[in-house]
Amino acid sequence: MRRIYDGHAHLGTEEERRYREREGIVTMICAGDRAEAEALNRLSGDWIVKACGLHPWKADLGALAALEPWLERAGIIGEIGLDSVWCQVEMDVQRQVFRRQLALAAGRKRPAVLHVKGMEREAAETIRDYPGRYLVHWYSDMDGLDAYLDQDCYFTVGPDVEQNPAVQQVAERADLTRLLVETDGFSAIQWALGEDFPLKDLRRALENSLRWIARVKGVTEDYAAGQIEENFWRFAE
């Protein structure tokens, strides 16, 4: 069984983590606050790639200060960003937290994972001030994609690619060398595809996205899988 690469997920449950290890799913796990960073730090295994960043849903200057020791050590910063749809945190606070983490990532030449729901255009303009290597996770807006393509960003294709035209356009328009697949964690798959989606099919969700990418790019699944593996490590290095 070949390894498959999940470009964006969260800690999830212990059962989910055991499943990922057993199924050979190499996973970039993002810790979104200090408690999650501490929990992630206790995990080990060659299937885990660790990232750390204060999620916009939790944006707070005090929380950022508490997380800074972990951010200093993080090889990947994320997920960070702006959210005007699913988030009640004041936008000015989100902007401050976002820029401070972008400055840290740029200053230490660390890649960063972006969450840009409802704030796609502003986030794209903001990162221009902090040149670096960016992965835009589950981009799902029909507008604003050009600003990220122009900056040579990486993109994860979300698990709803077969149903979501906004996700489909990412797979169609981004270069294959800049694409990854993601689950955003098992609970996110259930949110996107239905609560009856079983954990045992998590790997299948990634394979379905990979298959969709291969088809739209006109390459074999094996070729797409190899390229996505290369993209994963090139971004994470």
26-72 tens-digit pLDDT: 999 999 999 999 999 999 999 999 999 999 999 999 999 999 999 99
**Which residues contact residue 220 at a Cβ distance below 8 angstroms, ignoring those fewer than 6 apart?**
214
Instruction: Please tell me the distance from the alpha carbon of residue 68 to that of residue 103, in angstroms, as a whole number.
Output: 12
Cα 214 to chain centroid distance, Å, stands at 20
Contacts of 101 (CB under 8 A, 6+ apart): 53, 54, 64, 71, 77, 80, 112
Residue 54: CB atoms within 10 Å? 31
Tell me how long the chain is.
Answer: 237
| Residue 237 pLDDT level (bands cut at 50, 70, 90) | confident
To the nearest whole number, what is the mean pLDDT of the chain? 96
Look at residue 2 in the predicted model and tell me its pLDDT: 83
Query: Residue 46, class by beta-carbon neighbours within 10 Å (0-12 exposed, 13-18 middle, 19+ buried)?
Result: exposed
**16 confidence band (pLDDT: 50, 70, 90):** very high
pTM: 0.96
Q: Is the pLDDT of residue 194 over 80?
A: yes
Q: What percent of the chain has pLDDT over 70?
A: 100
